[in-house]
Amino acid sequence: MRIVPGILLAVTAVALSACSGGSGGTAATTSSSTAAAPSTSTAPATTTPDRIDCAAGYLAQFTTRQKLAQLLTVGITGAADAENVVRTEQVGGIFVGSWTDPALLADRQIERVKAAARTPLMVTVDEEGGRVSRLRNLIGAAPSARAAAQTVSAEEFYAQSKARGTAMRELGITVDFAPDADVSAQPDDSVIGDRSFSDDPEVVSRYAGAFIRAMRDAGLGAVMKHFPGHGSGSGDSHTGAVRTPPLEQLQGKDLVPFRELVGSGAGVMVGHLDVPGLTTPNVPASISPQVMGLLRQGAGYGAAPFDGPIFTDDLSGMAAITDRMDIEDAVAAALEAGADNALWINTNAVSRVLDRLEQEVREGRLPIQRVDESVLRMARFKGIPLNC
Which residues carry out catalysis? 238, 313
Residue 75 is given by DSSP the state E
Tell whether the torsion through CA atoms of 215, 29, 354 and 44 is positive or negative: positive
- Report yes or no: 121 and 95 within 8 Å, Cβ to Cβ: no
Q: Quickly count: other Cβ atoms within 10 Å of residue 358's Cβ.
A: 16
Task: Map residue 51 onto helix, strand or coil.
Answer: strand
Residue 124 is given by DSSP the state E
Integer-rounded Cα radius of gyration of the chain: 20
DSSP output for 267-335: EEEEPSEE-TTTSPTT--GGG-HHHHHHHHH-GGGT-----S-EEEPPSSS-HHHHTT--HHHHHHHHH
Q: What dihedral angle (degrees, nearest 10) is formed by the CA atoms of 348, 376, 367, 276?
A: 80
Gap between the Cα atoms of 83 and 89, Å rounded: 10
- Report yes or no: 292 and 286 within 8 Å, Cβ to Cβ: no
**How far separated are the first and last CA of the chain, in Å rounded?**
11
